[in-house]
Amino acid sequence: MRKYIIANWKMHYGPIKAGAWIRAFRRERLPKDLDIGVAIPHISFAAARSSLGRASVPWLGAQNVCWAEEGAYTGETSPGMLQELGSTFCIVGHSERRLLLGETDEMISKKVAALVHQKIQPIICIGETEVQRKKGEASKIVRAQLTSALSGLKSAQGVDIVIAYEPVWAIGSGKPCEPNDARQMHEVARDVLKKKFGKDGETMRVIYGGSVDVRTVHEYVSTTAIDGVLVGGASLDPRAFGLVCRAASPA
């Protein structure tokens, strides 16, 4: 299975800086054995696509979506609109949206179903807080979050669903989760996928996110059960993200 390396800019880079980032990243010497994507703000899509030109890497994706296709949802963006923008994937359920913006498991489930219906790949974020881990509840929380996120689906409908295990306590902290601990949580997620989708669940990618950088990325992608990484702060500089991609390559 090819490793998946996704940059998440979060709320950084309007159209001018986004275009400059893409142009700079295209000059990087990138491994051909990875699938590389960048999750960018909606407002920057047009500039990013223009700067990407005919290049096939990186893939461009979104950081959020509304579950409704249209209607009175002021300020929201529908899956159909993401398709028009050229988004190939979309992050849903990121812990920052859960904690800061009040997203619930029910909302995330509806977003996942809406993306799958439009054939856009969802990257579903799951993960426990530090308090939950200390209480020994990490596996229970991750299992419950993922089960809920997938509850609106009867099948994957041909969409390559990706799960991103992101322990809340590791995001932006500079204290990444130990690879073996991450592997154990990925096995929990894999078990949920197999119970939900059968054989299809065996081939869906489960990636890790949380303080990933050039020093730690190889440990994660070389660990059994971890199919790639979601990179936050270390992706804001195109050269630094290029280094992360090269460090992640198994070649």
CATH for 151: 3.20.20.70
Tell me, what DSSP letter sits at residue 234? G
**Could you give the number of structural domains in the chain?**
1
* Cα–Cα distance for residue pair 65/79, rounded to 1 Å: 6
Phi, psi dihedrals of residue 209, rounded to the nearest 5°: -140, 145
Active site (annotated) includes residue 94: yes
At residue 84, the pLDDT reads 95
Q: Domain range holding 101?
A: 3-248
Q: What angle do CA 61, 221, 198 make, to 5 degrees?
A: 75
126-177 pLDDT, tens digit per residue, is 999 999 999 999 999 999 999 999 999 988 888 999 999 999 998 877 778 9
Helix runs in the chain, H state only: 15-26, 45-52, 79-85, 95-101, 105-117, 130-134, 138-149, 179-197, 199-203, 217-221, 238-248
Tokens of 105: 């498991």
pLDDT reported for residue 241: 98
**According to the model, what pLDDT value does residue 172 have?**
79
Annotation says 166 is catalytic: yes
Residues 140 and 127 sit within 8 Å (Cβ to Cβ): no
Phi, psi of 61 (to 5 degrees): -140, 175
Mark the ranges of the chain whose per-residue pLDDT is less than 50: none
pLDDT at 30: 95
What share of the chain has pLDDT > 90, as a percent? 92
Catalytic residue among 96, 128, 166, 186: 166
- Quote the pLDDT of residue 173: 76
pLDDT for the residue numbered 100: 96
Q: Determine the 3-state secondary structure of 103 from DSSP.
A: coil
3 state SS of 165 = strand
The single residue of 28, 94, 103, 178 carrying the catalytic annotation is 94
User: Strand 121-126 to strand 205-209: parallel, antiparallel, or no bridges (unpaired)?
Assistant: unpaired
The H-or-E segment that residue 3 falls in is: strand 3-8
Q: Measure the CA–CA gap between 26 and 20, rounded to whole angstroms.
A: 10
